[in-house]
Amino acid sequence: MKYWLVKSEPGAFSWDDLENAPTKTTHWDGVRNYQARNMMRDDMKQGDRVFFYHSNAEPTGIVGICEVVKDAYPDSSAFDAKDMHFDPKSTKAAPTWYMVDLRAVRRLPRVLTLAELKEVKSLGKMALLQRGSRLSVQPVTESEWNTVSALAEKPAARRAVGAK
DNA sequence: GCCAACGTTGGC
DNA sequence: GCCAACGTTGGC
């Protein structure tokens, strides 16, 4: 089993949206980056675990855990001329873009904010925390997964004097 | 709203 | 194949 992280802007699709979806499952469509596509198409498999991250949010951070319930298959939003993610170059005979199905497993006991994750030394190499990292689908190592999961069970560390 | 970082496009 | 211009991402 492998581990991943996906980003979503809660204004577009939030963790709550996922929990409220039928069977708490959604098609992870609209990915239009080749690196992210390759990971979804080639390496993401049913049963893999996925952190759900809110970007462009208040706060930004990891909010929940979901599970891959269906391996990659062609992204139908690329075929729909009315869809925001329509791509005329992607055809049903030779699809350019792929999606997986994700199901919400559980909300984390608390949000792990980007600011907090940045302060954890052992997460220094985590893809999410790399300078300029913009990939919307990222690999997470097993040790990173375990570190983040354990952190979510503890109360937030006290911030510097003056912080709220 | 600003802007740095990055990916893609297209002229040459 | 280079690289400038442009569009997007996403933190702040």
CATH number, domain at A62?
A: 3.10.590.10
User: Is A87 part of a structural domain of the chain?
Assistant: yes
User: Is A157 part of a structural domain of the chain?
Assistant: no
Structural domain including A67 reads 3-130
Q: Separation of CA A85 and C1' C5 in angstroms?
A: 23
Report pLDDT for A159.
Answer: 55
Provide the whole-model pTM: 0.92
In this complex, the nucleotide whose C1' atom is nearest to the CA atom of residue A53 is C10
In this complex, the nucleotide whose C1' atom is nearest to the CA atom of residue A113 is C11
Report pLDDT for A164.
Answer: 41
User: Is A141 part of a structural domain of the chain?
Assistant: no
User: Is A80 part of a structural domain of the chain?
Assistant: yes
User: Is A120 part of a structural domain of the chain?
Assistant: yes
User: Is A136 part of a structural domain of the chain?
Assistant: no
Name the residue with tokens 């080639």.
Answer: A42
User: Is A114 part of a structural domain of the chain?
Assistant: yes
Q: Is the CB of A11 under 7 A from strand B?
A: no
User: What total of structural domains would you count in chain A?
Assistant: 1
Name residues of chain A where pLDDT drops below 50: 160-164
Report pLDDT for A82.
Answer: 84
Q: Is the CB of A88 under 7 A from strand B?
A: no
* Cα→Cα distances A23→A62, A63, A92, A127, A146, Å: 21, 19, 27, 30, 26
User: Is A20 part of a structural domain of the chain?
Assistant: yes
